[in-house]
Amino acid sequence: MIALLVLLSLLFLWGAVSDRLARWSVTAPIAFAGAGILLTGGDHPILTLDMETHTFQRGVELVLAVMLFTDATEARDYEWLEGSVGDIRLLGLALPASLVLAVLAGAVLFPGTSWWLLGVAALVVMPMDLAPIMMFLRDERVPLRVRAALNIEGGFNDGLISPLFVFCVANLVTAQGHSFGSLVLDAVKGAAYAVLAGTVVAFLAIGVVRRSLAAGWATAADLRLAGLALPVVAYAASVLLGGNGFVAAFVTGLWYARTAHSLGRHHLDLVHDATYLMTLAVWFTFGKLIADVFAEGVDLAFIGYALLALTVVRILPVLVSLIGTDFTWPERWASGWLGSRGVTSIVFAVLAYTQLNSQDAAFVVKAMSATVLLSIFLHGITVEPLARWFDRRARLVAAAEEGQPRIRPS
């Protein structure tokens, strides 16, 4: 009860002062991660958070399922843009290349480490999440196609990575005695069942929603609660079939997106609010992980791994993948640099923590913690200067095209 009281009080206080704190660059991730460190760290913590219980693990899985559903529905926000915004290249070329480079970087920095463990670490630290730079996506000073590319990539990369993550974790959990072939077969079957479950749930939901509206049984506002239930229904249905619940929630969101948007832009507001609330809880958990993992000091190898993951391993594949597109070089560099890490990496790391042995789990959590921490600060302090630079550049280009005297950057 004390934990519930403290967490809900934190939520209330954040809601009351969030705008004020934002002026001091104190974002929700920073605030709730800091609260997690203060309240759960030390030998005698104010709150105790047991992450090894089945209930906690299931709760984290549901958080990821709802996030994946929300990300899938948001992908259609940019359908009206003409042509590609580079998202196919970023997902089909840059993402796989980044994962390979992350594994190789881990092999260099942590010699002798299992390739499967390096694969899990790469799948944890490389998914992009825009939570630490959310204001950047609404900043009209930044070119729209950069914001669109990042938003679509952030929405799809965790959905694509989740089955690979589950597969690599299964290969590390050798106590069950499964062969590699049986694990591959299980992964394929899990993905197939997930697609089936997600598709069936989505089309049933679409049919019910349309019938309900046509018959006047409910209004679009009344159906917001139905939208919130969908990712959980898809997840549960897939798990019961033996499928991947994450993939099912993502597939459901993809199918349901067009219907959701046809009902009005506010139809999914409840889902978005619930997702935001869940992510705050994840950031609080991140504070607990930091307090535990770095209690005995920081390993410089993990700092180096995190820096590589945020820079070379991310930026180089993005630059190469966008060659031949209409993106200018500044836009390509911005798309590469602004691959912030956040909730997705934390959730994957927590899932690994609950399933792997203590040594492997500590390795994954340390890699994630260093990467996300650096991302919060490095991306947090650079988004505003970058937005200003794009704004000055746009005014200079406009002045040159109009034949006016050049505007000197302030």
Query: Alpha-carbon distance 67 to 306, whole Å?
Result: 24
Query: Alpha-carbon distance 240 to 237, whole Å?
Result: 5
Length reported for the chain: 410
Helix axis angle, 224-241 to 54-74, nearest 10°: 120
Least Cα distance to 71 among 183, 142, 156, 150 occurs for 156
Question: Residue 174 gets which letter from DSSP?
Answer: G
Q: Which residue has the tokens 């993550």?
A: 165
In tens digits, the chain (410 residues) has pLDDT values of: 666 677 778 888 877 887 777 666 677 777 888 888 888 877 777 777 777 677 777 888 888 888 888 888 876 555 545 555 667 888 889 999 999 999 999 999 999 999 999 999 999 999 988 776 766 767 778 888 888 888 788 777 877 888 888 888 888 876 455 566 666 777 788 888 889 999 999 999 999 988 888 888 887 777 888 888 899 999 999 989 888 888 888 889 888 888 877 777 677 888 888 888 888 888 888 888 888 777 777 789 999 999 999 999 999 999 999 998 888 898 899 999 988 888 889 989 988 888 888 889 889 999 999 999 899 888 878 887 888 888 888 888 777 777 655 555 54
pLDDT on residue 306? 95
Please list, in sequence order, all residues whose beta carbon lies within 8 angstroms of the beta carbon of residue 110, skipping any fewer than 6 positions away: 118, 301, 305, 363
3-state secondary structure of 268: coil
3-state secondary structure of 386: helix
Decide: residue 56, CB within 10 A, 0-12 exposed, 13-18 middle, 19+ buried. Answer: middle
- Residue 328, phi-psi category: left (phi > 0), alpha (psi -120 to 50), beta (remainder): beta
φ, ψ for residue 61, nearest 5 deg: -65, -40
Q: How far, CA to CA in Å, does 351 sit from each of 1, 56, 63, 251?
A: 25, 10, 11, 21
List the helix and strand counts (H, then E) for the chain: 17, 0
Element (H, E) at 180: helix 180-215
124's tokens: 């944890």
pLDDT on residue 81? 55
Q: Is the CB of residue 394 less than 8 Å from the CB of residue 141?
A: yes
Least Cα distance to 319 among 71, 72, 101, 82 occurs for 101
Computed on alpha carbons and rounded to an integer, the radius of gyration of the chain in Å comes to 22
φ, ψ for residue 50, nearest 5 deg: -90, 105
Query: Alpha-carbon distance 312 to 9, whole Å?
Result: 41
Strand extents, DSSP E, 101-248: none
Query: Alpha-carbon distance 31 to 34, whole Å?
Result: 5
Q: Is the CB of residue 108 less than 8 Å from the CB of residue 304?
A: no
Instruction: Set out the domains of the chain in order of their start, with CATH numbers.
Output: 57-401 (1.20.1530.20)
Q: Is the CB of residue 400 less than 8 Å from the CB of residue 406?
A: yes
pLDDT on residue 405? 55
Q: What is the reported pTM?
A: 0.83
3-state secondary structure of 52: coil
3-state secondary structure of 311: coil
Query: Alpha-carbon distance 41 to 22, whole Å?
Result: 25
